[in-house]
Amino acid sequence: MTFFGKPAGDKYHTRTIEVNTYEYDEGRLVVAGTLTDHRWKEYRLATGEKRDPGILHQMIIHLLLNKSSLEIDDLHVEMPGVPRAECLETRASLDPVKGMRIVGGFTSKVKSMAGKGQGCSHLVTLLTAMGSAAIQGFAAYKLHKSQSLAADMTRMLVDSCWTWRAGGPLIRFLKTDPDKPNRP
């Protein structure tokens, strides 16, 4: 593999974030996310402690998400891989998201609530990634159950990206006939 015209050098770090959405019951979905930081070479922590290659961080978050409102009914945090025991003290830092809805502004609310030394930046990174992935999982669930996009789905898509911009061709199409099975 080459980058910018030069062969890739030694690999030092890989971060993976995986988010899966599952049906839980009639009214809820489970959104399960994992963040893993893997160090490929011997390294030192910021404190100077020497570490062997392997997992530096592994964080797992499970959200119980209401299908009709996208409200977080419950949340569970696991931290099986952390560099310091003190990291475990942040597991409850995301508890305030219980009752929040995953809608526009979710990322900034999470960052203001648990970022900047109030919680774990890795948990915040994972949860904010899970927000947009939860929308994708919800859409996959809805479109599996019905070939049409309901009006609430259309509202979630508006201005989420260039393709779904307000006044753009796809939003105009869905607004004229939100139950039409084929898009332009």
Measured distance CA(99)–CA(143) in Å, rounded: 25
- The answer to whether 127 and 33 have CB atoms below 8 angstroms apart is yes
Q: What is the pLDDT of residues 53-78, one digit of tens each?
A: 999 999 999 999 999 999 999 999 99
28 CB neighbour count, 10 Å cutoff: 18
- The answer to whether 126 and 35 have CB atoms below 8 angstroms apart is yes
C-alpha angle 78-80-82 in degrees, rounded to nearest 5: 110
Q: Picking from 39-48, 117-126, 149-158, which range would have the lowest pLDDT averaged per residue?
A: 149-158
Decide which of 143 and 157 is more confident: 143
pLDDT band of residue 183 (cuts 50, 70, 90) is very low
What are the extents of the domains in the chain?
Answer: 2-145, 147-184
pLDDT of residue 151: 63
Q: What is the pLDDT of residues 137-148, one digit of tens each?
A: 998 998 888 766
The alpha helices in 41-168, defined as continuous H runs, are: 106-114, 121-145, 151-157
pLDDT of residue 146: 78
pLDDT of residue 181: 53
